[in-house]
């Protein structure tokens, strides 16, 4: 049985396209902080913290983090004697949480600009 070169090329092309799709930094990626993007519980962002899906915002500690000294669980910015059990493990952040995420992850020395299309949103300031 003879193998076809075209089948090999299709398979290699498909694998390459799949690998490159994982490198996409478009507005649909979670780190882009766009309205409508959803995040899983405990999604971590440097300089921002952990996303608590039931509360639709980021917090400094993981969801249901247990502190033995306090004998308490942390979620939604508060401590409680028992963990919060909920089925919500995926949600979209509030507009306020999105603004905080954008501000916390913006490169140092940038000023947010708008009104000139998608290519002119940030301007670097050098001192």
> Between the ranges 31-40, 58-67, 108-117, where is the mean pLDDT highest?
58-67
Please write the tens of the pLDDT for every residue from 71-107: 999 999 999 999 999 999 999 999 999 888 888 877 7
Nearest CA to 57 out of 98, 104, 27 is that of 98
Please write the tens of the pLDDT for every residue from 36-68: 899 999 999 888 899 999 999 999 999 999 999
Q: How far apart are the first and last CA of the chain?
A: 68
**Residue 25 CB neighbour total at 10 angstroms:** 8
Give 127 or 89, the one with higher predicted confidence: 89
């Amino acid at each position: 049985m003879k193998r076809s070169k075209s089948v090999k090329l299709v398979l290699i092309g498909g694998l390459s396209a799949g690998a490159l799709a994982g490198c996409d930094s478009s507005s649909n990626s979670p780190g882009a902080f766009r309205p409508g993007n959803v995040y899983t519980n405990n999604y971590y962002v440097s300089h921002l913290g952990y996303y608590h899906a039931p509360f639709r915002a980021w917090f400094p500690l993981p969801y249901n983090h247990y502190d033995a000294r306090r004998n308490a669980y942390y979620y939604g910015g508060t401590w409680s004697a028992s963990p919060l059990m909920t089925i919500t493990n995926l949600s979209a952040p509030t507009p306020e949480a999105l603004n905080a995420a954008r501000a916390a992850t913006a490169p140092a020395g940038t000023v947010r600009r708008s009104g000139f299309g998608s290519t002119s949103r940030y301007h670097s300031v050098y001192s």
